[in-house]
Chains A and B, each alone.
Chain A
Amino acid sequence: MPRIVPLQLLRCLRVLLDNNGGILSAVEVKRISGLMAKYSKKLVSKCVYVQILKSTKTELLGDFMAVGGWSLVYTWLNDAIRAMNWPLVQEILELLLLSPVDVNRLKINSAPILVKGLCKDGGNEGVRILAKRLVEQWLKIVTENTSMTIQGAAPHIAATTASQVPASVSGAGSASVPDSASSSDSTDSAGAPVTYTITSAANSSNSNSITIKWKPLLDNPDGGDETDSGTQSKDNEVEHLEKGSSATHLLADASLGKKSGLDDSSSAAEVKSGEDVDNKKHKSSKSDKSKRSEKEREKDRKKESSSHRSSSSSHKSSSSSSSSSSKSSSSKSSSSSSSSHRSSSDKYRDKDKARSSSGSSSSSKDRERSSGSSSSSSNKHKSSKSSSSSSSSSSSSSGSSSSKDRKSSSSTSSSSSSSRQDKDKDNKLMPPPAVAASNAAGTSPTASAKESDAQKPRSIPIMSRKASISIEIRRDTEKTATVKTYQSKFRSHGLTEEAPPPPSRKGLKKPTSSAVAASPALMAVPSSLKRPSPPPRDLSTDKKAKIDINNVAGHVERPGAAKLIAPKKIQTLVETNLFSDALAASIEPKKVVKRKRTSATSPTDKDAPLAPLKFYQDTLDESKSEEKSDDSSKENDDARSSSPGKDTDADDDDIPLKRVKEDIEQKVQKAKAAAGGEGGEAGNTSDNAEDLPEEPKKPGPGCGPDGPPGVLTLHRRKGPKKKLTWQSEEKLTQIRYFEVDRSERVNVMKQTFLEMKNMERFSERDALTIARRGFDDTMEPQMEWRPLLEVDNVPDHPNGNLSKQRQVQMDREATTLRALYFSPDMIPDSPAEAELEPHFAHDIPVIPMDDLTGNPDAVNDYSALAWPEPKKYAPSSGVGANISGSDMGFNDNMLTGLGAGPNLMQNPFDPFMGGMPAPTGMPPGPNMMPNQVPNGTPQIWQNQMGPVGGPPGVPPMMNGPGGPGMDMSNMNMNNMPPQNFMGNQFGSPVSPFGSGPPPGFNQYPPMMMNGPGPGPVMGPNGPVMGPNGPMMNGPPNGPMMNGPPNGMGPGLMMGGPRNNNNNNNRNKNNGGGIWRSGGNNFQENSGGNWRSAGSGPNRGGGGGNGNTGVCKQFMRGHCNMGKNCKYVHPQKKRL
């Protein structure tokens, strides 16, 4: 395509456009939107199209947006922002301001978000200003819709509007109508040339105002506009009621708003929350600066004072009502908004510039204001304006009753005084709007930020709610101003009829303005106090300036005011009564609101007539109270620093508290009653919020670590050292109980704890030894493997002849392979698991413990009978023929074995002899007898001695050496043992020859035979002898061992050889002979021992022999020493 020429494009579109350059009619809207969508890629096309749309009528523009224009304009805006084409963005924003918008349209795309972003990030100042205005406009629309849905006052509003319409119609037809028409015409003519020559925000704002005013003139015959304005005013009143309500009510409203599901409102809230964060950051930085140095603190205070001034001016704007006011407000708002980002000095410069710029276009009054260039002069103007505005508001709000009060309260009750007051009001109303409007725009962000800060602990939606409410306040004031001006100019009757509603609005707003007015004075006082030298000069200059201003204003305003007062008085007195009665009857809650307002304004009424000096004194009192509050806050800070809490925590706590206090003060200044209450509640909520975070912190530093309980306890101390200790005994102890039946045997071994402990210790030691050194395995085969021999006399074993599993297993093995493992590594750790079988739980037959048949022979009780005593070594069986050679060997063995006997025999006598005096042999004899009797079983002893006779037996024992005949009787008693003894002798020589064993084996049997041999011989007498019984084995062999070496008496020597000879002879002959010879040995040997016991040297020799004898423990079978044993083990000798 060739380059597009704007003029040619316009010629092509001329058919669709009207004379003004806008869309011709509704019919062409679709065609034009289609064309624009298709051919809007070029910048030239976009510019032409935007201008066409801006020239289009509002209704047609709405149709265009509905057809698809809204999306198209959004894409244009998005592209322009990306391209950083700020002039184009500005044009599009102007177009959006002209286009009608509703909530549904705002939801379609994210245009609101883009515009919101431009408020801060716009590359051009003009763009930012337009964006802010656009955001305000859209927020108003959104909030109106939400309020409409929430409130149910629609029928009341309709009724009130209906009543108003006929009154206005009846009152029409006055000379004021042509005046308004002429004024509107003049404004149009003035606006047109400005738009053509200069393209700036001011011009655009002028065009906006012109179009707004033009609409009501055109629509007056229909009456629809009037109804709309009425509804808007009613909504505003309802909103005021909301403001007065408590915080909880606001919360409820917020929740209702959420329920409505407005996406745009939620998105707006998010954006605002972001802004709040930025504001917080700025404030935190400011607080840091103030701490650093005093100079910075002064600067911060100046900024705060400037912000307060701006807020006061914003409230003043509510009273303004003129076309010029809009111009000045727009210009100054831009200057104030820009200055908010710069230093205080820059602010003053910008203000001067703004004034100069506004001066060029503003009326003569604005010029007079600009004459005052100094900051002090500006402050003076503001203070005077605030006082005048408060007085005017008080007069209007009180109505007839208030006017009466004034008359009585004032010193002079003449009409001249009242007329003077009225004149002052009229004069003062004119100047304030310019300054107020400019400041209002500047204060909007700070006001919203402050309110949001106060509400931080609650929730973000509430913050956004509050922010939106603040914006509504300013818009309401502007609209009310417009309405008042319009109606007042057009019809005097209409103004008189609508008098009641305006007073309520003024009452709400002006008290806040008066509070704000006080704040700058309060702020000024502390600064003056801190500076010792400058304060008096500043104060003196302020006072002089104020006095001059008051005088000048009075002189100038008096004549104009007189002219206007008379008609208003007459009209208000007549009609206000009727209207107020109607309002009271229809709406009750409004009454409550009014009462509050009157109470709030009453102190101002009193102050107004008072002298100016008293007014200043009141301000001084307030400043003192603030100082006290500051001191208390400082004390709190000191307490926190001294507290054991962390320093960082203290710092964090201080900042929010300061902010909260500042917010509270601001609220109090704005609205005494409602604001005060809200502030208190905010303080309470803030306190609660502070408590919550502190609670979790408190347990942290002072308490132990969290988590599961452990075995150890950490004792925290100041310093590097830490202490770890075991948990208390209770926590480390676990107790378990075991049930034991009473009949159950416990600790059968009867071992004490120590014994068990030692046993455990020894076994553990042995285990360790084995683990280290390994088994002391000395096992070795002692012979070669031979074919097995069967044992005789073995009964047949059934060998499971009734078993059925045998067959089952055989069948199973026939069908299952054998598990073969060719190496140990291949063997699995466990056999394969068995197949699961159904294990049904059934009642198991119980086997009773007792006989159920009741058979008396079922129990054989041997519990009273003791277990039989264990027997000794058993003699071998079998008897063999005697051989001379074997006799020789046997005799030698017997001599050796029997030799040990006498030693054992002598050992027990030694302790007896040692224990008793041994002067003679006879005394031991009687001692032995009583020992024998108690040691043995009397019955057994008597039985054994029965044949001979008890009494005769005893004497022979005492007279042993002299009774040979009695000896023979003893021999008879021992018949059986001797036979066994002799049998053993004959048995051993036969076995070696029969089996042909080696010589070593030949010795084994003889040793076994000799070992237990003596025992049986003395068996019957064992019990009688008691512990000495076993030792008596020695006597038979005593003389043989002792005879030759000792050289005993000839009697013994004679006995010895005889016995031996007898044994030899009888052995050859028969067993009987052997038995007799054995008896002889016993008798003589025992006698010999008794005799030898008398001699000392013999006894010593016997003891020595005993030490090298056979091991006693081994004989009993208890010896554990094994090879280490010092005594002889007969078995080993056999081996």
Chain B
Amino acid sequence: MKIKLIDSVVRSFKVAKIFRENTDKINAIDFAPNGEHLISCSEDDQIVIYDCEKGTQSRTVNSKKYGVDLIHFTHANNTAIHSSTKVDDTIRYLSLHDNKYLRYFPGHTKKVISLCISPVEDTFLSGSLDKTLRLWDLRSPNCQGLMHLSGRPIAAYDPEGLIFAAGVNSESIKLYDLRSFDKGPFVTFKLNQEKECDWTGLKFSRDGKTILISTNGSVIRLVDAFHGTPLQTFTGYPNNKGIPIEASFSPDSQFIFSGSTDGRVHIWNADTGNKVSVLNGDHPGPVQCVQFNPKYMMLASACTNMAFWLPTSEEGL
């Protein structure tokens, strides 16, 4: 029994669950590929895992020694990688089964601002304020590839795991073939440079046709993934504190969701560029993380509290 996402369904989402597990801002969330678990990390150095099927919190571990940010599930069960906010800027591989670190990936010398997992294999990309982009393999603490670039480096894998995109200096996107990245990018999109903000995130749509660019301002850009043609500009959500608000695709690539500093979730139509709805969940703080479940009809948004949204309409049948 599957339901299609249409405007009416998107407008009917309401808060069904509220979790007050954290005492400080949640800075990253990630759904497992099967859509059954959600992991979040917070600036209070806590890692919380939720059961999406039951709508409950299933596990909590601490990492007060190193701090946690940009947490992502890996393909193994009960394992995750995250960057550090203390001691140093090493990326750490954590086993949630026995609450033990499995491996460290040292190399970055400044804050890691970008981290993404290959959807196919055990490699991941990390970008840091030290102006380097590194390619790693979970099985070895040695860096597999190093790229020097200027500005804030951001990166993303395409849904097939064959291509990765790198954002350079908030003005160009370079596409690399993972099998021959030593030859350089096979295509470069030069775009109009942002004047008021920096690019803070890249994401491929699930169908692999478009690339979403998040910023630390009040604008979100949509670019064609094959030709780099600018497609849409999404505005209308406030971000008066310059925080890197995350924008996400719905699994059918039709809608774009984003948080804001007014405590609401803003939704646009990716194809037409029209704003569809603004969901008010009464978040007490800025909503930095918003993601749609990769499989089920469920939305998650987080400020200091975590909120699960469910649709109240089933017109998509």
Partner pick for A818 among B79, B97, B184, CB 8 A cutoff: B97
Flag if A801 contacts B120 (CB, 8 Å). yes
CA distance A744 to B198 in the complex (A): 12
CA distance A653 to B227 in the complex (A): 99
Contact with A along B179-207 (1 / 0, CB 8 A): 00111111111111111111000000011
- Output the least CB separation between B105 and chain A (Å): 10
Partner pick for A816 among B35, B98, B196, CB 8 A cutoff: B98
Task: Let me know if A700 is at the binding interface, CB within 8 A.
Answer: no
Partner pick for B233 among A808, A869, A1116, CB 8 A cutoff: A869
CA distance A878 to B76 in the complex (A): 43
- Contacts A778-B284, A779-B18, A991-B8: A859 and B252 contacting too (C-beta < 8 A)? no
- Which parts of A863-881 form the interface with B (CB within 8 Å)? 863-878
- Which parts of B248-284 form the interface with A (CB within 8 Å)? 250-252, 262, 266, 268-269, 272-276, 278, 280-284
Contact with A along B300-317 (1 / 0, CB 8 A): 000011011011111110
- The secondary structure that dominates the B interface is loop
- Output the least CB separation between A537 and chain B (Å): 104
CA distance A803 to B103 in the complex (A): 17
- Output the least CB separation between B10 and chain A (Å): 10
Partner pick for B282 among A749, A778, A784, A846, CB 8 A cutoff: A778
Flag if B251 contacts A791 (CB, 8 Å). yes
- Output the least CB separation between A1010 and chain B (Å): 15
Task: Let me know if B109 is at the binding interface, CB within 8 A.
Answer: no
Flag if A874 contacts B103 (CB, 8 Å). no
Flag if B79 contacts A809 (CB, 8 Å). yes
Residues of B within 8 A of A812 (CB): 95, 97
- Which parts of B1-22 form the interface with A (CB within 8 Å)? 1-8, 11, 14-18, 20
- Which parts of A811-866 form the interface with B (CB within 8 Å)? 812-813, 816-819, 821, 824, 827-834, 837, 839-840, 842, 844-853, 855, 857-866
Task: Let me know if B44 is at the binding interface, CB within 8 A.
Answer: no
Task: Let me know if A733 is at the binding interface, CB within 8 A.
Answer: no
Residues of A within 8 A of B55 (CB): 785
A824 to B, closest residue via Cβ: B60
Flag if B187 contacts A792 (CB, 8 Å). no
Task: Let me know if A1117 is at the binding interface, CB within 8 A.
Answer: yes
Flag if A851 contacts B64 (CB, 8 Å). no
Residues of A within 8 A of B189 (CB): 860, 862
B261 to A, closest residue via Cβ: A1120
Task: Let me know if A728 is at the binding interface, CB within 8 A.
Answer: no
Contact with B along A770-809 (1 / 0, CB 8 A): 0000011111111111101111111101111111111011
Partner pick for A750 among B14, B196, B228, B241, CB 8 A cutoff: B196
Flag if B281 contacts A871 (CB, 8 Å). no
CA distance A791 to B31 in the complex (A): 15
Task: Let me know if A531 is at the binding interface, CB within 8 A.
Answer: no
Task: Let me know if A1118 is at the binding interface, CB within 8 A.
Answer: yes
Flag if B7 contacts A877 (CB, 8 Å). yes
Flag if B285 contacts A775 (CB, 8 Å). yes
Partner pick for A1122 among B77, B262, B285, B315, CB 8 A cutoff: B262
- Contacts A793-B252, A847-B133, A863-B193: A873 and B274 contacting too (C-beta < 8 A)? yes
Flag if A863 contacts B171 (CB, 8 Å). yes
Task: Let me know if B138 is at the binding interface, CB within 8 A.
Answer: yes
Task: Let me know if A5 is at the binding interface, CB within 8 A.
Answer: no
Residues of B within 8 A of A786 (CB): 16, 310
Flag if A848 contacts B183 (CB, 8 Å). yes
Flag if B52 contacts A788 (CB, 8 Å). yes
- Contacts A860-B228, A862-B230: A763 and B241 contacting too (C-beta < 8 A)? yes
Residues of B within 8 A of A868 (CB): 230-233, 273
A782 to B, closest residue via Cβ: B14
Task: Let me know if A401 is at the binding interface, CB within 8 A.
Answer: no
- Contacts A785-B17, A795-B207, A797-B33: A829 and B64 contacting too (C-beta < 8 A)? yes
Flag if A817 contacts B98 (CB, 8 Å). yes
- Output the least CB separation between A868 and chain B (Å): 5
Flag if B76 contacts A809 (CB, 8 Å). yes
- Output the least CB separation between B31 and chain A (Å): 10
Contact with A along B117-140 (1 / 0, CB 8 A): 011111000000000011100110
- The secondary structure that dominates the A interface is loop
CA distance A509 to B234 in the complex (A): 122
Flag if B176 contacts A847 (CB, 8 Å). yes
Flag if A799 contacts B145 (CB, 8 Å). no
- Output the least CB separation between A833 and chain B (Å): 6
Residues of A within 8 A of B285 (CB): 775
Partner pick for A788 among B93, B186, B298, CB 8 A cutoff: B298
Flag if B64 contacts A1120 (CB, 8 Å). no
CA distance A1116 to B238 in the complex (A): 11
Residues of B within 8 A of A991 (CB): 8, 315
Flag if A845 contacts B145 (CB, 8 Å). yes
A867 to B, closest residue via Cβ: B233
- Output the least CB separation between B25 and chain A (Å): 11
CA distance A818 to B95 in the complex (A): 10
Contact with A along B70-81 (1 / 0, CB 8 A): 000011111100
- Contacts A798-B120, A851-B185, A995-B313: A830 and B230 contacting too (C-beta < 8 A)? no
Residues of A within 8 A of B58 (CB): none
Partner pick for A1131 among B147, B150, B240, B280, CB 8 A cutoff: B280
CA distance A844 to B20 in the complex (A): 44
Partner pick for B252 among A792, A869, A1005, CB 8 A cutoff: A792
CA distance A777 to B305 in the complex (A): 9
Flag if A871 contacts B275 (CB, 8 Å). yes
CA distance A1023 to B304 in the complex (A): 43
Residues of A within 8 A of B144 (CB): 844-845
- Contacts A855-B186, A1120-B262: A781 and B297 contacting too (C-beta < 8 A)? no
CA distance A868 to B34 in the complex (A): 35
- Output the least CB separation between B128 and chain A (Å): 14
A804 to B, closest residue via Cβ: B122
Residues of B within 8 A of A869 (CB): 233
- Which parts of A398-449 form the interface with B (CB within 8 Å)? none
Flag if B186 contacts A851 (CB, 8 Å). yes
Residues of B within 8 A of A776 (CB): 284
Residues of B within 8 A of A648 (CB): none
Task: Let me know if A741 is at the binding interface, CB within 8 A.
Answer: yes
Task: Let me know if A748 is at the binding interface, CB within 8 A.
Answer: yes
Task: Let me know if A920 is at the binding interface, CB within 8 A.
Answer: no
CA distance A816 to B78 in the complex (A): 13
- Output the least CB separation between B184 and chain A (Å): 4
- Output the least CB separation between B3 and chain A (Å): 5
CA distance A623 to B189 in the complex (A): 115
A763 to B, closest residue via Cβ: B241
- Output the least CB separation between A1133 and chain B (Å): 13
Task: Let me know if A745 is at the binding interface, CB within 8 A.
Answer: yes
Residues of A within 8 A of B282 (CB): 778-780
Residues of A within 8 A of B311 (CB): 789
Task: Let me know if B170 is at the binding interface, CB within 8 A.
Answer: yes
Flag if B77 contacts A862 (CB, 8 Å). no
Task: Let me know if A810 is at the binding interface, CB within 8 A.
Answer: yes
Residues of A within 8 A of B50 (CB): none
Flag if B16 contacts A839 (CB, 8 Å). no
CA distance A970 to B285 in the complex (A): 49
Partner pick for B186 among A802, A858, A1116, CB 8 A cutoff: A858
CA distance A685 to B276 in the complex (A): 104
- Output the least CB separation between A1123 and chain B (Å): 11
Task: Let me know if A197 is at the binding interface, CB within 8 A.
Answer: no
Flag if A839 contacts B141 (CB, 8 Å). yes
Task: Let me know if A293 is at the binding interface, CB within 8 A.
Answer: no
Given contacts A851-B186, A870-B235, 5 further A-B contacts (CB under 8 A): A775-B304, A777-B305, A803-B121, A819-B99, A995-B314
Q: Sorted from nearest, which 9 A-B pairs have the closest CB atoms?
A: A874-B274, A1117-B236, A800-B75, A809-B76, A803-B75, A871-B273, A792-B2, A847-B147, A788-B296
20 A-B pairs within 8 Å (CB atoms) are namely: A748-B198, A775-B284, A779-B282, A780-B18, A786-B310, A788-B293, A789-B1, A790-B2, A790-B296, A792-B5, A795-B159, A798-B159, A806-B77, A848-B147, A859-B190, A862-B228, A863-B191, A868-B273, A874-B274, A878-B8
